[in-house]
Amino acid sequence: MSARILVIEDDEAILKFLRRGLAYEGYQVDTAIDGVSALAIARDNPPDLVVLDLMLPGMDGLEVCRRLRTGGAVPIIILTAKDAVNDRVLGLDMGADDYMVKPFNLDELLARIRALLRRAQPSRPQVLRFADLSLDTGTRQAHRGERTIPLTAKEYDLLELFLRNPRQVLTRDMIFDRVWGYDFGGESNIIEVYIRYLRQKLEDGGENRLIHTVRGMGYVLREPI
């Protein structure tokens, strides 16, 4: 069965363009022009992926993103005219997995949708372990000892990358390629932002740091020295 995509956009021309383009690619497409109706659609017909505008009437896109994220780990791509780095970081802070600026290229959007859907597909479950940290790839749940750690989709992808490559230094380029699947931009601090998120969650119970910075090179998952 083809993936179901929810497009939340109040610009009628863009909405029609996206609906036509996504349907042509074989996706099931639901649409909403405001946040309240979008959340109702997501509740009644859970999407496999959400394309979300930030500037919506009534409830803004950031609040919609936050509420969608609290309800699960559905991949979210923000599509907006706001192009400042601060806007990108704020959108990612709210739980978005990707961020595209209007005007956008449909082929690039489709590529990003395919990449996120691939990552969301279940693979043969296994439990990855390092020290007292574990990650169940079946349930997508992380634990530090007995403590459960809630993760967004991108945080999960990043932690899985570290756990599959313990004690190996991962460069920024490698992380971009494996987690985001494209060049987000050399000036972006998206990796630093997500490393900070992961550290906060992994150390929230007072545990030792496991993700370390290797200055000038990247990051590594290793035991504390």
DSSP string, the chain: -PPEEEEE-S-HHHHHHHHHHHHHTT-EEEEESSHHHHHHHHHHS--SEEEE-S--SSS-HHHHHHHHHHT----EEEEES---HHHHHHHHHTT-SEEEESS--HHHHHHHHHHHHHHHS--S--EEEETTEEEETTTTEEEETTEEE---HHHHHHHHHHHHSTT-PEEHHHHIIIIISS---TT--HHHHHHHHHHHHHTTTSPPP-EEEETTTEEEE----
Say what the pLDDT of residue 181 is. 65
86: exposed, middle or buried (C-beta count within 10 Å: 0-12, 13-18, 19+)?
exposed
- pLDDT of 139 reads 86
Terminal C-alpha separation, the chain: 49
158 has pLDDT over 90: yes
What's the CA gap between 158 and 141, in Å, rounded? 13
Instruction: Count other C-beta atoms under 10 Å from residue 82's C-beta.
Output: 17
Alpha-carbon dihedral sign for residues 185, 25, 8, 46: negative
- The model's confidence at residue 92, banded by pLDDT at 50, 70 and 90, is confident
What digits encode the pLDDT tens for the residues 159-185?
999 999 999 999 988 888 778 765 444
Give 9-30 pLDDT, tens digit per residue.
999 999 999 999 999 999 999 9
Report residue 137 as tokens. Answer: 């790839």
Q: What is the pLDDT of residue 86?
A: 76
Q: What is the torsion angle, in degrees rounded to the nearest 10, for the CA atoms of residue 175, residue 181, residue 182 and residue 187?
A: -30
The pTM of the whole model exceeds 0.85:
no
